[in-house]
């Protein structure tokens, strides 16, 4: 099974940028679709985007479209990245990546249950 470790979180001012990394080990990384999620204080964990196994399909939740970019490296680093630009205080949350290989889909549909999760990394955006 795959293990996931997120990094790159921190404190940033509104309008700033951060790049989160989700580093995978174990398993066959290219067999997993990867989702990015976040959980703000007092709220449920929500998906913000996902990338297919080969990286040829990416989807975003509406609130991050045009600001966040997901990319994937299946060869050199077995990692998925989340580039976050134009950050807003509302983006403050713990960010998680998750992996799933169970579906017949190319990219997991909304509501998909992911198999494996990282521990999360805190992102705080100050106003």
Query: Does an H or E element contain 103, and which?
Result: none
Record the tokens describing residue 117, joined without a space.
């999760």
* Contact (CB, 8 A) for 26 and 1: yes
Q: From first to last of its 127 residues, what are the pLDDT tens digits of the chain?
A: 899 999 999 999 999 999 999 999 988 899 999 999 999 999 999 999 999 999 999 999 999 999 999 999 988 879 999 999 999 999 999 999 999 998 888 888 888 899 999 999 999 999 9
| Sequence-separated contacts (24+) of 110-118 with Cβ below 8 Å | 110/47, 112/35, 114/35, 115/1, 116/1, 116/2, 116/3, 116/4, 116/32, 117/4, 118/4, 118/5, 118/6, 118/22
């Amino acid at each position: 099974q795959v293990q996931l470790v997120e990094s790159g979180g921190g404190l940033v001012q509104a309008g700033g940028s951060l790049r989160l990394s989700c580093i995978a080990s174990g398993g066959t990384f290219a067999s997993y679709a990867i989702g990015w999620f976040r959980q703000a204080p007092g709220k449920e964990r929500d998906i913000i985007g996902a990338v297919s196994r080969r990286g040829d399909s990416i989807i975003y939740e509406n609130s991050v479209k045009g600001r966040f970019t997901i990319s994937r490296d299946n060869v050199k680093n077995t990692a998925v990245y989340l580039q976050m630009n134009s950050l807003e205080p509302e983006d403050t949350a713990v960010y998680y990546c998750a992996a799933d290989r169970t579906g017949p889909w190319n990219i997991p549909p909304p509501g998909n249950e992911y198999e494996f999760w990282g521990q999360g990394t805190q992102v705080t955006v100050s106003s």
